[in-house]
Structures are given as structure tokens and as C-alpha cells.
Amino acid sequence: MENWRAKALKDFPALQDMIEEQSGVIALWIELYNLLETAYEQQPVNDKLIANIYDYAAWCINQPQDPDAGIEDPSSAAAVGLIESIPLNKHVSEDLYRWFSVEAFDGFENLFRYHLSEEEYRKFSEEFRRKRKEFGGDSRF
């Protein structure tokens, strides 16, 4: 079994069927991003699922990159399937300060910029930094 799948099954036991159905890690990230958006729509917001998704993303990002794997590499899949999509959802992007450190945010600048204009990125970055400074708590990422 692939490492990414074994880790996902361990981190998300309630999602076993969905995880086992995925043809690759990028397909899993598409599903996890959809679940992230849904977690923000729940009342109250599903912080446990959000935290698990960010923890799994951190694990994927920290896996050694395999250039031959393309987007099926866990690190690349998390970057494409999650990180670059964060600015596209207002609920997700407005809450990013609770999960990302400034260092992690800065490290993903190019991914965040993928869907944003220069002005949109400037606003996104300023808002994140303002909230992160006010928050001051620990980050998951």
C-alpha cells in the first residue's frame, strides 16, 4: 500500500471507503479539499476535521519529492490539491491564520499567487498577517 494512502487511512479512519476508492493521491486531495470546504459550512465549524486535513497536508508536504511521480507525489499533490486552492474559498482563506505560521505562508507564496492577481494577493497576504499577529497562537503548519 502506498505511504500516502496508509497515512490517510490512519488519519481519517471514518473515510476509509472514500480513501480506498481514490486512484491516486491527487484524487484524494481533491476530495479532502471538498471536505475542507464542507467543514467550514457546518455549524459549528468542524475544527477537528480541518485540523486533521492540515496535519495530513503538512505530512504530505514534508515527504521527499519524487520528480518522476509528477502530481502523484504526496508533496506535489498537497500543493496542487490544497495549498493553491486556499485563496479561492473565503471561509478557508479567512481562517488560514489559525493553521499556518507566517513562515509557512511565505513558503507557499507562489502557490497562493497561482489564482490571484497582484492586488488580490496583496490583500490576501495583508489580511493573513494582520490576523496571525492578533492571534499569536500555535500553528499546525
Question: How do residues 104-136 score in pLDDT, each as one tens digit?
Answer: 999 999 999 999 999 999 999 999 999 999 998
Mean pLDDT of 78-95: 96
Residues 6+ apart with CB under 8 A from 10: none
Domain ranges of the chain: 3-135
Mean pLDDT of 42-47: 96
- Would you state the pLDDT for residue 64? 87
Question: How do residues 65-76 score in pLDDT, each as one tens digit?
Answer: 777 766 689 999
* CB under 8 A, 24+ apart: contacts of 45-51: 45/95, 50/95, 50/99, 51/99, 51/140
